[in-house]
Amino acid sequence: MDANPILAETTRGNWVENRHRGAYVVIDSDGRIIAAAGDIERPVFPRSSIKSMQALAIFARHAHEQFHHSQQELALACASHNGEDMHVEVASGLLSRLGLSEADLECGAHQPINAAARAALRAEGAKPSSLHNACSGKHSGMLSVALAMGVPTAGYASREHAVQQQVRAVIEAVVGEPLSEAKCGTDGCSIPTYAAPLRAFARGFARMATGNGLLPEMASAAERLFDAATTHPHLVAGTGHPDTQIMTAFKGRVMQKYGADGVQCGAIRDKGWGYALKCDDGSLPASLAMVAALLLDVAEPDADQRALLEGFAHQPIKSVRGAQVGEMRAVAR
């Protein structure tokens, strides 16, 4: 099998220090490929990039009707958030309305990703809770699915639980392919993650953007989730995060979500195109440079959007003293 092409490189001084290979595809809901490079049929774990697909379970089991999820709560269900106060408050509010608490979350606790939020916790002498976990919004939404299904909330993160079976079913419905136990792992927040081709995830995002190929109820749910995420991009990630900045700049046109280990997925909504990208070595900065270059090519950015994307496609590398000593940059294709 041929190696994937080099899509980004790191320079130091006047020399290329690292080269980052990867693959990407932009596709429409009918499966027509708009642009592609590398092996788009190799199964990859999408990690957190498909949280909006996972959140479709809220609608499939009518939890949204029973618990009246706000647009902010739906945005947080799609999020890998920074653990800032606004994120904690939205997740806590939904749990309270469900009659549950942070003790019911099975995502685990970690320090807030945002430096200011970490400093504030230290100043208070407080420890991080599961609410600060980047995935607490997704997990809160999954707890609402358990209650709507009438099944125990305990163990909802396990592969065998009815909630995760429902999540798997909605992802399969969107990507149009079965997810196999033979290609299954556990994500950092303890829920299952299934590997499938980049092409399938990209097409799934195109179908969510257009509703084409989806049952009417699922098409409506996808639109609501994309609307929530792009209307409240600060809840999907947070202060200074590229996902938040990109969705803010594109004003609803682009749904963008990163995943751990170099995955980037999303949709150019007004074109009806989905995209999926994987950096082979898992570098997040390299995958950001790659997806920025991709959006520069296919999303028709205006001047301000272009300036933002150019900054991500050419990221300065600085010394401890602040001098620029190199660059992480996308490789033109």
- Per-residue pLDDT of 236-261, as tens digits, reads 999 999 999 999 999 999 999 999 99
CA distances from 318 to 167, 282, 324 (A): 42, 21, 4
Q: What is the pLDDT of residue 2?
A: 85
pLDDT averaged per 10 residues in sequence order, the chain, 333 residues:
92 97 98 98 97 98 96 98 98 98 97 96 95 98 98 98 98 96 96 98 98 97 98 98 98 98 98 98 98 98 98 97 97 79
CA distances from 237 to 189, 197, 247, 308 (A): 16, 25, 10, 17
From CA 21, how far away is CA 331, in angstroms rounded?
10
64-83 pLDDT tens trace: 999 999 999 999 999 999 99
Going from N- to C-terminal start, the domains of the chain cover: 6-330
Q: What is the pLDDT of residue 249?
A: 98
CB 266 within 8 A of CB 273: no
Q: What is the pLDDT of residue 196?
A: 98
Burial (0-12, 13-18, 19+ Cβ within 10 Å), 239: middle
Of residues 52, 2, 33, 81, the one with CA closest to residue 275? 33
From CA 241, how far away is CA 134, in angstroms rounded?
13
CB 272 within 8 A of CB 29: yes
From CA 227, how far away is CA 235, in angstroms rounded?
13
> pTM for this one?
0.96
Q: What would the CATH number be for the domain defined by 6-330?
A: 3.40.710
Give the tokens for residue 15. Answer: 């020399």
Neighbour count for residue 154 (Cβ, 10 Å): 11
Q: At what angle do helices 216-231 and 198-210 cross, to 10 degrees?
A: 90
